[in-house]
Amino acid sequence: MRMFAVADEPDVLTGLRLSGIEGKLAVNRKEAEAFVAEAEQDQRIAVLLITENCAAMIPETVTRLKLSSVNPLVVVIPGTAGSARPEDSVTGLIRDAIGIRI
């Protein structure tokens, strides 16, 4: 079993490749959809990492995979600019309690 990434930024892929994770660069919706479908069909891929921007290009596919797929497990990761996700209450509580920003 292995991990695979679909990203919209070359720097993200470079960092992941340095840690041994292969991936593909998707610059538009069509490419993102094709690369995710390719990863979905490959039985060797256990975890699919996808950047937030790529996930935003194909939200219905990401949601479908998260809700109904056993393999691959889909994990949405931030890009180089950081997470676009708003701070949630758990993150705020951790920051307030121990002073560490997540």
| pLDDT digit string, tens, across residues 84-102 | 666 566 666 677 777 666 5
The whole-model pTM stands at: 0.79
Taking a C-beta distance cutoff of 8 angstroms, is the pair 30, 63 a contact? Answer: no
Q: CA–CA separation, 54 vs 45, rounded Å?
A: 18
Please list, in sequence order, all residues whose beta carbon lies within 8 angstroms of the beta carbon of residue 30, skipping any fewer than 6 positions away: none
Terminal CA-to-CA distance of the chain, rounded, Å? Answer: 29
The answer for 82, left when phi > 0, alpha when psi is -120 to 50, beta otherwise, is: left
Domain 2-98 CATH class label: alpha beta
| pLDDT digit string, tens, across residues 16-75 | 999 999 999 999 999 999 999 999 999 999 999 999 999 999 999 999 998 887 789 999
Q: Where are the domains of the chain?
A: 2-98
